Amino acid sequence: MELQELIIQKLKKNFPDSFIDFNVHMGDLSVKVDKKNIVKICSYLKEDSELEFIFCEDVTAIDWAKRKNRFTVVYHIFSFKHNFRLCIKADVDESDCAIDTVSTVWKTANWEEREVYDMFGISFNNHPDLRRMYLPEEFEYHPLRKDFPLMGIPGSLALPKK
């Protein structure tokens, strides 16, 4: 498809050392980049006049439970001009569990990143308001990590007396 090749060529030309890989699965294009330049890549994709990825749909993370590069942060962005959806992935290691925030580029990412912090424990540098989203502040664990049991840890959340 010409649009997919155009995007890959542009990214390779402007960010040669950050662009790692691309993949097409069941019609969806996904691009793997280095986490250091994520804000510059996202602002380029938003402001480029040919591409115009002005709509951020989703920010999430995957826990692979391996020792190297345990987490992957995934961004889904959409372009109204071409009706095309792009997926950007950035690997985050457990020892350096932080990545720059993109809430300066798209305001939608603000709450989505708070949810990722709540569920996985990945912190976002320069985030304006990094608090837990769903669980109370006293909760010490991050539920969506693979080592947290589904039924919870008894005593981690308080219940009122009868």
**Shortest approach of another protein to residue 33 CB, angstroms?**
16
DSSP assignment of the chain equals: -HHHHHHHHHHHHH-TTTEEEEEEETTEEEEEE-GGGHHHHHHHHHH-TTT---EEEEEEEEE---SSS-EEEEEEEEETTTTEEEEEEEEE-STT-EEE--TTT-TTHHHHHHHHHHHH--EEET-S----SSS-TT--S-TTSTTS-TT--TTSS-----
**Shortest approach of another protein to residue 119 CB, angstroms?**
8
Q: Which is nearer to another protein, 9 or 126 (CB)?
A: 126
The answer for 142, left when phi > 0, alpha when psi is -120 to 50, beta otherwise, is beta
**Shortest approach of another protein to residue 71 CB, angstroms?**
11
User: How many residues bind to another protein according to rule CB under 8 A?
Assistant: 49
The residue within the footprint of another protein, chosen from 13, 83, 96, 140 (CB under 8 A), is: 83
**Shortest approach of another protein to residue 139 CB, angstroms?**
9
The residue within the footprint of another protein, chosen from 63, 91, 100, 113 (CB under 8 A), is: 63
Per CB under 8 A, contacts with another protein among 10-29 are 25-26, 28
Residues that bind another protein (CB under 8 A): 25-26, 28, 30, 54-58, 60, 62-63, 74, 76, 80, 83, 85, 87, 106-108, 110-112, 119, 128-129, 131-137, 143-144, 148-153, 156-162
